[in-house]
Amino acid sequence: MLGPTLPTMPALERVVALPAETLNSVVALLLETAVSANDKLSTKGVITRWHAKVPPPIPAGQYLSRLTQFTPFPRDAVLLSLLYLDRISRIPIVASPPISPAPLLPHFARAEIPTPSNPKKPTPILNSFTLHRLVMSTMLVASKFINDSFVPQARSAKVGGLAAAELVRLEVEVLATLGWELKFELSDLEELSKLLLREGEKAGLVEKSEAEETIAEQESAEVVETEEAAVEEDPNRTPTLPTIPSPQLETPSEPPLPQLGSQLSSSTSSATTSPRLFSPIAPGSTTSTSPVPSPPSSVGGDTIDEASSEEKEEERQLRLKASCETVRRLESLSMSGGTVSNEVVNVC
């Protein structure tokens, strides 16, 4: 007897098949929108372990590109980290006067508000001071949660521009802030994928699929038939037909992200020196206005050079294979009789 059949997930499959640069651009768009709104608040929040002395100079899109290219984090970890970031951004902030920070995914239908293990500990606001550390730590937690093999801690720290010991502490902070609840449903990733596709289409980063256009045309035709039938029954009724959208000019595609080697120069310090991309604010210390050093462009003693087109294609295939393998693993676990969420916990 066959087990229960899992629902199809066309949006998730489409997101997994997107080029890495496109997915990074859409995710960066969501991050920058929330950060821009929260930077306008009257405060940057109570100082936490995620706060930097000054906003890091590297944009969110380039930082994501660096993490996914040189660690590399799989795409399912990128999607799951967005769920964790959205949960953290929805925790109420206690401040005087009261403030309401913008969540990462304001239109996400399956949003959850976690219960931190220590409610007295301050919660970070997703702004330009905390963005990079939150992205790095949540992505590493997500990668370890859903993959049996993950990136070594030292490599992740060097690529992310943090000290290895500090990254460990940030991981613990993420887990405590989420209340040690990392479970998720496949339907969560499907809804998140739909949101990413909608935002990408609005920004001109993702082309609208033929299937979605056909569904929209069918829905429009059904509305017209319904209104015509109502007018026939009641001649005095004024039909309310859908408006015809005006034609839109094609938005030119954005140029590819510049190579990170020009902005993330090699460190002149010895290999034993801990790289510090964004120095945290220590209690009782004063904020320094001097520029912080850029993260090193060497990982594990090897210089990060521009990958050839063959290597990039091979890396893309490996990431796609890893993401598909994760989905197949979750399918097999669910078909064995348990729920997806509980089985994911057992895997990890």
Listed residue (65, 69, 56) closest to 27, CA to CA? 65
Q: How many residues does the chain have?
A: 348
Task: Return the amino acid letter for 29.
Answer: L
Q: Which helix (H) or strand (E) holds 334?
A: helix 309-335
- Give the up-direction half-sphere exposure of residue 244: CA atoms within 13 A in the CB hemisphere: 1
Q: Examine the pLDDT at 291 and tell me if it is beyond 50.
A: no
Q: Examine the pLDDT at 293 and tell me if it is beyond 50.
A: no
Task: Give CA–CA dist 340/183, Å, rounded.
Answer: 9
Task: Give CA–CA dist 266/127, Å, rounded.
Answer: 28
Task: Give CA–CA dist 144/345, Å, rounded.
Answer: 11
Which domains does the chain possess? Answer: 10-208+274-347 (1.10.472.10)
Q: Model's pTM, two decimal places? A: 0.61
Tell me the average pLDDT across 173-186: 93
Looking at 69-78, 102-111, 114-123, 242-251, which range is the least confident one? 242-251
pLDDT at 215: 47
pLDDT at 31: 95
Q: Which residues pair with 69 in a beta bridge?
A: none
